[in-house]
Copies of this chain bind each other. A is one copy, B any other.
Amino acid sequence: MSGVLAVAADDPLTSVMAVIQVVLEYVGTMAFAISGAVAAGRKRMDLVGVVVLACLVAVGGGTLRDVLLGNFPVFWVRNPTYLLVAALTALAVIPLTRTRALDVLQRLHIVQVSDAAGMAVFVVTGTNVALAAGANEISAAIIGVISGVGGGIVRDILANEVPDVLRGGQFYATAALIGAGVYVALLALDADPLIVFWIPIAIILLIRLASLRFGWGVPTFAYEDRG
């Protein structure tokens, strides 16, 4: 292995994990789309806004990754499946809000946990895409973080809000950066591919859930102009 993860698909454990990876990507895409649709609803957007915001959260990070690296056309132009999943999820959110099912999902933190799982997978696969494109370790980890959190930033810009990931004081981008760093380090150590891939995802998920559960996070910085 020369710096980039290549998964051999011929042993059963690897196959199972590959399926889990795809499942997490779709679960994450749906969670991202829900957060976009909810943000659109908070701003009383129309159906176009609901679908556009959902799609932007779902594919925004990966689009930024591909643009910064020069992978063209960007991934969803090559394969619009994730975009369609995000659009359908967004349209499904609207009747869900009428039945209070969305409130139940949120009270059980199912959306937040799915969001964390998807973000974790996108960070690791994004870092991997960057390494495959020839990026150095530091840049690849940064591209991985952008892949995971960029969509949420684009959502908040279109909703005319300061991006939550920059202000919320939670472990989110920080968890992503730690996970990307661990991924790059494990790759350099030539560890087993399954460990290389899943340990960073587990770390991101744990940090993120601990932040949600215990309120851990990063300090905020307030600055007032003086005389």
A residues with CB within 8 A of B? 37-38, 40-50, 52-53, 63, 67-70, 72-74, 76-78, 80, 83-84, 94, 97, 100, 103, 107, 130, 133-136, 138-139, 142-143, 153, 157-163, 165-169, 172-174, 217-227
A211 to B50, alpha carbons, bound, how many Å? 19
Given contacts A41-B221, A68-B63, contact A134 B73 (CB under 8 A): yes
> What residues of B have a CB within 8 angstroms of the CB of A52 in the complex?
166, 173
> What residues of B have a CB within 8 angstroms of the CB of A103 in the complex?
226-227
* Total identical chains: 3
* A217 → chain B closest CB, angstroms: 7
Q: Can you identify 22 A-B contacts, CB atoms within 8 angstroms?
A: A37-B221, A38-B223, A40-B166, A44-B167, A46-B166, A46-B168, A46-B217, A46-B218, A46-B220, A47-B218, A47-B220, A49-B162, A67-B67, A68-B73, A68-B77, A70-B73, A77-B135, A77-B143, A80-B138, A103-B226, A159-B162, A160-B160
> Is the Cβ of B46 less than 8 Å from the Cβ of A135?
no
Given contacts A133-B73, A139-B77, contact A46 B162 (CB under 8 A): no
> Is the Cβ of B40 less than 8 Å from the Cβ of A80?
no
> Is the Cβ of A169 less than 8 Å from the Cβ of B218?
no
